[in-house]
């Protein structure tokens, strides 16, 4: 076993504290990755605090991992020692269900092995995430990091990047379309960059007037402050596609009403409480409300290569791990520009 250092929380109200644990020795198909950077996703906060009611403790969060391969198993063919490697929200799946066979492994029907707050394929051994010194992952669930991108800024692509890229692709967002992004946080700011790069006219819907200048720099064409619903009235029926990346409870109907005929709103944000949807918000204009969870390993690699080609990475604030408590508090307040990333050499 490999002694590993990390930060963990032990219950929904505890702070993250130093935590020592063991990783498995890499088996034939595994790579051992020395972690350089790990992004701080709002999902880390939801789960650390048991807001989705499925938390396993002790919990080492972190699923936006970039590092360097330190060792490879005997059968590994895609990675060599010294290569850059990325790990996202899951580290294995059953590989035999219909979804896995179709390359949609993130929707595995049997057992998706979450990077943390989950269990290994044995359904017993807990998984521990990227707020740690190293991780052991099957090479088939490890991503190749394109050369030439700043690594701290790449880490958030592994969750925030793929979670926004995947629905934009699934619904064929393209030039000539009007796209709305609700919530300018970690996911939202990637949604703006990606939708703009696909040619769409992008409008940010935000509760934070102070983010307008940033939104425009990220590629948004319009910025709407949502605290006053009157600001949305003239936009009714104008949007082809809306991506909702808000972490807290809010009114979906306000945004559904902005969709034109056959328009689609996709939820990626995952507030803890259910929300009310008026039938007429959907019936009018034949609108659809959909959801999307991260993306497959295949599509995550496609997204990383797309980002390299278009020179897209995340806007980050790099922190030492000792500042994780403040980073969580600021993220909850919406005060993040636009992703905290932990420099793991501070561990």
Contact residues for ligand NAP (CB under 6 A)? 41-43, 46, 159-160, 163, 183-188, 206-208, 211, 245-248, 250, 268-270, 292-294, 331, 334, 336
Both structure tokens of 152: 């701290």
Contact 162, 88 (CB under 8 A): yes
Tell which one of 16, 65, 87, 159 touches Zn ion (CB under 5 A): 159
Stretch that binds Zn ion, among 118-126, 157-165, 212-220, 255-263 (CB under 5 A): 157-165
Identity of the residue, 133 or 313, whose beta carbon is nearer to ligand NAP in the bound complex: 313
Give the residues across from 239 on adjacent strands. Answer: 259
Q: Based on CB atoms, which residue is closest to ligand NAP, 178 or 211?
A: 211
The residue with tokens 């993220």 is: 331
What per-residue string of b and e applies to 8-32 under the rule 16 or more CB within 10 Å gives b?
A: bbeeeeeebeebebebeebeebbbb
User: How many whole angstroms separate alpha carbon 148 and alpha carbon 153?
Assistant: 11
Number of residues engaging Zn ion in binding (CB under 5 A): 3
Only one residue has tokens 């060792």, namely: 71
Residue that is written with structure tokens 């057992």 in the block: 111
Site for Zn ion (CB under 5 A): which residue of 19, 26, 29, 43?
A: 43
Please calculate the CA angle 86-191-211 and round it to the nearest 5 degrees.
115
Q: Write down the least CB distance from residue 159 to ligand NAP, Å.
A: 5
173 lies in the site for Zn ion, by CB under 5 A: no
Query: Is there binding between residue 41 and Zn ion (CB under 5 A)?
Result: yes
Give me the least distance between CB of 257 and ligand NAP, in Å please. 16
In the bound state with ligand NAP, the residue whose beta carbon lies nearer, of 70 and 293, is 293
d(CA 4, CA 90): 19
State whether residue 20 is helix, strand or coil.
Answer: strand
The two three-digit tokens of residue 158, written as one number:
């592994």
Nearer to ligand NAP among residue 19 and residue 328 (C-beta): 328
Closest separation in Å from C-beta 186 to ligand NAP: 4
- Report the half-sphere exposure of 254 (CA within 13 A, side-chain side): 17
Question: For ligand NAP, which is the closer residue by CB, 4 or 9?
Answer: 9
CB 319 within 8 A of CB 340: yes
Q: Which is nearer to ligand NAP, 134 or 314 (CB)?
A: 314
| Helix, strand, coil percentages in the chain from 3-state DSSP, rounded to 5 | 30, 30, 40
Q: Is 47 in the site for Zn ion (CB under 5 A)?
A: no
Nearer to ligand NAP, 21 or 107 (CB): 107
Q: Which does 314 bind (CB under 5 to 8 A by kind): Zn ion, ligand NAP, none?
A: none
Given the rule CB under 5 A, which of 111-119, 158-166, 169-177, 257-265 is the region that contacts Zn ion? 158-166
Binding-site partner at residue 62 among Zn ion, ligand NAP, none, CB < 5 to 8 Å by type: none
Q: How near is the Cβ of 86 to ligand NAP at its closest, in Å? A: 15
- To Zn ion, the closest distance from the beta carbon of 63 in angstroms equals 5
- Pick the piece of the chain touching Zn ion (CB under 5 A) from 30-38, 154-162, 204-212, 247-255: 154-162
Residue 67 and residue 171: Cα distance in Å, rounded?
32
Nearest Cα neighbor of 188 from 290, 88, 272, 208 is 208
Q: Quick one: which of 124, 104, 126 has its CA closest to 114?
A: 126
Smaller CB separation from Zn ion, 41 or 324: 41
Using CB under 5 A, list all residues that contact Zn ion: 41, 43, 159
């Amino acid at each position: 076993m490999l002694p590993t250092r990390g930060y963990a929380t032990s219950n929904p109200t505890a702070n993250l504290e130093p935590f020592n644990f063991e990783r498995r020795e890499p088996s034939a198909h595994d790579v051992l990755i020395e972690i350089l950077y790990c992004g701080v996703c709002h999902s880390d906060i939801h789960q650390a605090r048991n807001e989705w009611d499925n938390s396993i403790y002790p919990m080492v969060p972190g699923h936006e991992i970039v590092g360097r391969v330190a060792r490879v198993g005997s059968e590994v063919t895609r990675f060599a020692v010294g290569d850059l490697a990325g790990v996202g929200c899951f580290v294995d799946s059953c590989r035999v269900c219909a979804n896995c066979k179709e390359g949609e492994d993130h929707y595995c029907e049997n057992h998706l092995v979450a990077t943390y707050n989950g269990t290994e394929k044995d359904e017993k051994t807990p998984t521990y995430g990227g707020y740690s010194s190293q991780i052991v992952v099957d090479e088939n669930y490890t991503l190749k990091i394109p050369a030439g991108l700043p690594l701290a800024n790449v880490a958030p692509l592994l969750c925030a990047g793929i979670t926004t890229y995947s629905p934009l692709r699934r619904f064929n967002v393209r030039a000539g379309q009007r796209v709305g992004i609700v919530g300018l946080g970690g996911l939202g700011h990637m949604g703006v960059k990606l939708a703009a790069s696909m040619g769409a006219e992008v409008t940010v819907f935000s509760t934070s007037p102070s983010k307008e200048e940033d939104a425009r720099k990220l590629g948004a064409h319009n910025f709407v402050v949502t605290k006053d619903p009157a600001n949305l009235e003239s936009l009714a029926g104008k949007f082809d596609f809306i991506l909702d990346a808000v972490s807290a409870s809010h009114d979906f109907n306000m945004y559904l009403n902005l969709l034109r005929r056959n328009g689609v709103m996709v939820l990626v944000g995952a507030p803890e409480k259910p929300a009310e949807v008026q039938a007429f918000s959907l019936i009018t204009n034949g609108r659809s409300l959909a959801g999307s969870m991260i993306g497959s390993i295949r599509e995550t690699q496609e997204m990383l290569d797309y980002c390299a080609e278009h020179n897209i990475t995340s806007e980050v604030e790099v922190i030492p791990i000792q500042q994780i408590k403040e980073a969580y508090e600021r993220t909850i307040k919406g005060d993040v520009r636009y992703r905290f990333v932990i420099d793991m050499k501070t561990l």
